[in-house]
């Protein structure tokens, strides 16, 4: 047993300390502390994994399933076979324990794993509500070392502990990453150009009419600016709810987080902005608030929570984007390309985090793959890859640093066949729509492997129901049925196992 030498070492020290005088006790206590420090230095190996993704991409469900399946694997259940096989490569008995690390004195709220599991495992199962703020949680994997020199040292001091630090946050905030690099002037020009295209123009009609009458060089009028801000926010909300659009900035206008509406957030994009606004003008105030927003987002999210991550899982609701139509698909594609470019180190805004010593591996995941039958899942993975072609060419070094997946965190369907009106049989998934009593067959449509052609959007037979989660053990003892989470982890952290 790898832990035995550590335990023997500690009990010898304790026996001496108990039997000796105060001086000896002091020396031996110091030795004990040194031993613990050495153990910490050699065996504590944190890997900070950020699970990122646009809103509704499936982050919270993914984290809940990941934790349930890791904990179940720790008790010997075969919940994550590809990950287990990766660990067992170095010897069958290496995995010793997986546990949730108790919360310390962190100021960030803890990810409510038991609560989310209980909701999904309830007699009337429920998906988690939208995430409104940051939450963190840590898992510790005790895995015995291999046989190299470092392995021997680790075995002497104890069992290596791989710490997975996981972060959940509102997906909308991710799109502030490209915004951090812009001035109010540039951001306004790009945002308004997008807003004047359909379908945004319909959702933003009232706001666009408002700014047509605004002269930003006039003296700032707070009531007027607040009105503009409210109209802009309402336009973003309509773009999200009515058109399924995702490239919506700033993220905190849609999901506030703990610090509620504060004056620095009362801004909007405007036309005719001077390059150097006069002091006290509308342009000046909008600019000051935009800069304050960026500073706040950096200080309270990107620098403090986001930047320190070594590995990224980027979740994309690719099927949802296909379902929502051409504008939504292209919007998601645009958002993912910009985020991928930032992650790949194209942007100078987060130098440590992006490339270099920062992000080491990225996994792009098309989520909710249980909506399509097995035969289409390879297509979905290919489409995911096509969507982030930017990341593929600019990954943080080497082809195995970027991987692509089609996965389902909670498999809520079963594969099957259904007779079509013309007599032939088609692969389908069987699922029970939320609120319905019976499962029915669904054929969501063909998943293209590259950006869909024009003809795809005219034949709108693509259906994407919200399915009821399957029966889940409320204690999570057997994990949660999933598709492909093990492969994602094996690709993402396999090099550290
Ligand atoms: N069938 C199926 N549905 C899923 C799966 N994962 C997520 N969903 C659906 O997608 C919805 C959104 O999932 P969440 O995990 O809450 O998404 P999120 O990214 O945390 O969303 P925000 O908190 O709003 O950013 C859920 O309510 C489910 O309806 C899955 O693996 N299978
Ligand atoms: Mg969430």
pLDDT in tens, 475-484: 889 999 999 9
Mutational test site, ligand 1, from 50, 58, 433, max ligand atoms within 8 Å of CB? 58
d(CA 164, CA 2): 21
pLDDT at residue 412 in the model: 97
pLDDT at 293 over 60: yes
pLDDT at 239 over 60: yes
d(CA 190, CA 186): 6
Nearest CA to ligand 1 atom 29: 466
State the angle between helix axes of 59-74 and 485-493 in degrees (0 to 180), rounded to the nearest 10: 80
pLDDT at 11 over 60: no
Query: Is residue 490 assigned to a domain?
Result: no
Q: Each residue of 75-112: pLDDT tens digit?
A: 999 999 999 999 998 877 889 999 999 988 888 889 99
Say yes or no: 346 and 449 in one domain: yes
Q: How far does the chain reach from its first CA to its final CA, in angstroms?
A: 18
**Nearest of 253, 247, 259 to residue 300 by alpha carbon:** 259
d(CA 321, CA 332): 7
CA atoms within 13 A on the CB side of 461: 9
Say yes or no: 359 and 464 in one domain: yes
**Nearest of 305, 107, 267, 94 to residue 188 by alpha carbon:** 267
Task: Give yes or no for a cis peptide into 199 (omega within 30° of 0).
Answer: yes
Contact 350, 298 (CB under 8 A): no
pLDDT at residue 72 in the model: 97
Which helix (DSSP H) or strand (DSSP E) does residue 234 occupy?
helix 222-243
Say yes or no: 311 and 378 in one domain: yes
**Cα–ligand 1 centroid distance for 238 (angstroms):** 20
Query: β-strands 361-366, 311-316: how paired?
Result: parallel
Q: Which residue has the tokens 């096989």?
A: 85
Average pLDDT along the chain: 84
Query: Is residue 143 assigned to a domain?
Result: yes
If DSSP codes are grouped into helix, strand and coil, which group holds residue 464?
coil
Please calculate the CA angle 463-468-470 and round it to the nearest 5 degrees: 125
Q: How many domains does the chain have?
A: 3
pLDDT at 356 over 50: no
Neighbours of 148 (CB within 10 A): 10
Query: Is residue 22 assigned to a domain?
Result: yes
Say yes or no: 323 and 218 in one domain: no
Please calculate the CA angle 241-245-247 and round it to the nearest 5 degrees: 130
Ligand 1: which atom is nearest the Cα of residue 483?
31
Domain of residue 192: give its range. 181-304
Query: Is residue 456 assigned to a domain?
Result: yes
Say yes or no: 452 and 355 in one domain: yes
Say yes or no: 99 and 83 in one domain: yes
Say yes or no: 10 and 159 in one domain: yes
Task: Give helix then strand counts, H and E, for the chain.
Answer: 18, 10
d(CA 411, CA 482): 5
Task: Give yes or no for a cis peptide into 394 (omega within 30° of 0).
Answer: no
pLDDT at 1 over 70: no
Say yes or no: 104 and 212 in one domain: no
Tokens representing 9 are 């070492």
pLDDT band at 35 (very low <50, low <70, confident <90, very high): low
Query: Is residue 447 assigned to a domain?
Result: yes
d(CA 346, CA 354): 8
Query: β-strands 95-100, 425-431: how paired?
Result: unpaired
Query: β-strands 413-419, 440-442: how paired?
Result: unpaired
Ligand 1: which atom is nearest the Cα of residue 132?
23
Ligand 1: which atom is nearest the Cα of residue 434?
29
Say yes or no: 358 and 443 in one domain: yes
Tokens representing 491 are 């690709």
Contacts of 417-421 with CB under 8 Å at 24 or more apart are 418/443
d(CA 286, CA 273): 10
pLDDT band at 278 (very low <50, low <70, confident <90, very high): very high
> Is the C-beta atom of 409 inside 6 A of ligand 1?
yes
pLDDT band at 260 (very low <50, low <70, confident <90, very high): low
pLDDT at residue 160 in the model: 76
Rg (CA), the chain: 26
Say yes or no: 300 and 334 in one domain: no
Residue where a domain terminates, one of 277, 304, 331: 304
Query: Is residue 496 assigned to a domain?
Result: no
Ligand 1: which atom is nearest the Cα of residue 53?
19
Query: Is residue 481 assigned to a domain?
Result: no
Higher pLDDT, 486 or 11: 486
Say yes or no: 291 and 339 in one domain: no
- Beta strand spans in 90-224 (E): 95-100, 135-143, 161-168
Query: Is residue 185 assigned to a domain?
Result: yes
**Cα–ligand 2 centroid distance for 49 (angstroms):** 16
Say yes or no: 104 and 235 in one domain: no
Q: Each residue of 424-461: pLDDT tens digit?
A: 888 999 999 998 999 999 987 789 999 888 888 886 65
């Amino acid at each position: 047993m790898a832990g035995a030498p550590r335990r023997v070492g500690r009990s010898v020290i304790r026996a001496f300390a108990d039997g000796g005088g105060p001086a000896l006790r002091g020396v031996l206590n110091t030795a004990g502390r040194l031993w613990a420090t050495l153990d910490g230095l050699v065996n504590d190996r944190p890997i900070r994994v950020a699970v990122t993704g646009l809103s509704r991409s499936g982050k919270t469900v993914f984290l809940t399933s990941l934790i349930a399946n890791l904990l179940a694997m720790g008790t010997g259940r075969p919940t994550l076979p590809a990950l287990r096989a990766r660990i067992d490569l170095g010897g069958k008995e290496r995995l010793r324990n997986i546990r949730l690390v108790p919360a310390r004195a962190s100021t960030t709220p803890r990810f409510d794993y038991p609560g989310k599991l209980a909701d999904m495992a309830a007699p009337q199962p429920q998906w988690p509500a939208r995430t409104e703020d940051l939450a963190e949680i840590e898992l510790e994997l005790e895995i015995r070392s291999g046989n190299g020199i470092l392995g021997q040292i680790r075995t002497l001091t104890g069992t290596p502990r791989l710490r997975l630090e996981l972060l959940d946050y509102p997906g909308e905030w991710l799109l502030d990453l490209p915004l951090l690099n812009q001035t109010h002037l540039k951001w306004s020009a790009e945002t308004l150009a997008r807003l004047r295209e359909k379908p945004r123009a319909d959702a933003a009609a009232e706001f666009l009419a408002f700014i047509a009458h605004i002269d930003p060089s006039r003296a700032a009028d707070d009531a007027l600016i607040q009105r503009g801000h409210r109209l802009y926010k309402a336009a973003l909300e309509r773009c999200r709810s009515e058109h399924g659009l995702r490239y919506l900035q700033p993220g905190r206008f849609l999901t506030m987080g703990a610090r509620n509406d504060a004056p620095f957030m009362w801004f909007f994009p405007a036309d005719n902005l001077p390059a150097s606004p006069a002091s006290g003008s509308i342009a000046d105030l909008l600019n000051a608030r935009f800069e304050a927003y960026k500073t706040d987002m950096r200080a309270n999210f990107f620098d403090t929570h986001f930047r320190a991550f070594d590995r990224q899982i980027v979740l994309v609701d690719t099927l949802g984007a296909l379902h929502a139509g051409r504008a939504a698909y292209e919007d998601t594609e645009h958002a993912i390309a910009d985020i991928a470019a930032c992650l790949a180190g194209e942007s100078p805004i987060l130098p440590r985090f992006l490339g270099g010593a920062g992000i080491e591996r990225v996994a792009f995941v098309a989520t909710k793959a249980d909506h399509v039958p097995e035969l289409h899942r390879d297509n979905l993975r290919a489409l995911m890859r096509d969507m982030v072609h930017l990341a593929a060419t600019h990954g943080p070094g080497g082809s195995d640093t970027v991987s692509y997946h089609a996965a389902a965190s909670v498999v809520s369907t079963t594969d099957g066949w259904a007779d079509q009106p013309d007599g032939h049989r088609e692969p389908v998934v069987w699922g029970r729509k939320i609120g319905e009593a019976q499962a029915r067959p669904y054929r969501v449509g063909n998943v293209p492997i590259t950006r869909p052609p024009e003809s795809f959007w005219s034949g709108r037979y693509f259906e994407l129901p919200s399915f009821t989660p399957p029966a889940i053990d409320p204690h999570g003892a057997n994990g949660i049925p999933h598709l492909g989470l093990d492969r994602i982890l094996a690709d993402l952290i396999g090099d550290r196992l």
